[in-house]
Amino acid sequence: MKNITKTIPLATMMLAAAVVQAGQTVCMYESNEPVTVVQGMASTWATKVITISTGVCYRVELETKSSVSALVASLYDDADGKAVVSDNYNLVRPSSDWKAVSWYFQAPPQAASGQIVVAVNRSKEFQIRHIRVDQVDRGTMRAWQISELAALPSICFTPAAARWKALPRTPAVPN
């Protein structure tokens, strides 16, 4: 089987420097065309290039259905077309039925454009539909961050009572 990469046409307008007010969203990319990433050891799919503005927050929404996990990422290029280091990755777990997936990101300052990329690392089928990228206000992104952090289990560390016995005594330091 061979790898398949499919880029779908931009279905709505791209805005380079729109100002987003509190509670407002500006659609940067939308497509309702179903996409299937299939058969290959490293099959990928990517949106068309989207103009990214410094300091702007974005929300990505899509629906997936698959028997395998996939990595979805927001990847960026600078004004010269060189790749910018990205740390916006998400793991999408398998689902036998359509499942909504969303995440938010703020691109690095040097980013001028970006793409949403889906990578499937198995010889299976990964389906995507209803893809949308919106500019959102900082408060909306912050509320999402708080809700995601609240869902994580608390971390509680209690050091062993006798932990100091294993450390050698520090010699006196001369003045």
Domain ranges of the chain: 25-152
Architecture of domain 25-152: Sandwich (2.60)
Residue 146 — pLDDT band, cuts 50, 70, 90?
very high
Q: Is the pLDDT of residue 15 over 50?
A: no
Q: Which two tokens stand for residue 30?
A: 């939308």
Q: Is the pLDDT of residue 20 over 60?
A: no
| This prediction's pTM | 0.67
**Model pLDDT, residue 148:** 87
The per-residue pLDDT for range 63-101, each reduced to its tens digit, is 888 888 888 888 889 999 999 888 788 888 888 899 998
Task: Using the Cα atoms of residue 112, residue 118, residue 120 and residue 124 in order, give the sign of their dihedral.
Answer: negative
Task: Using the Cα atoms of residue 88, residue 93, residue 98 and residue 100 in order, give the sign of their dihedral.
Answer: negative
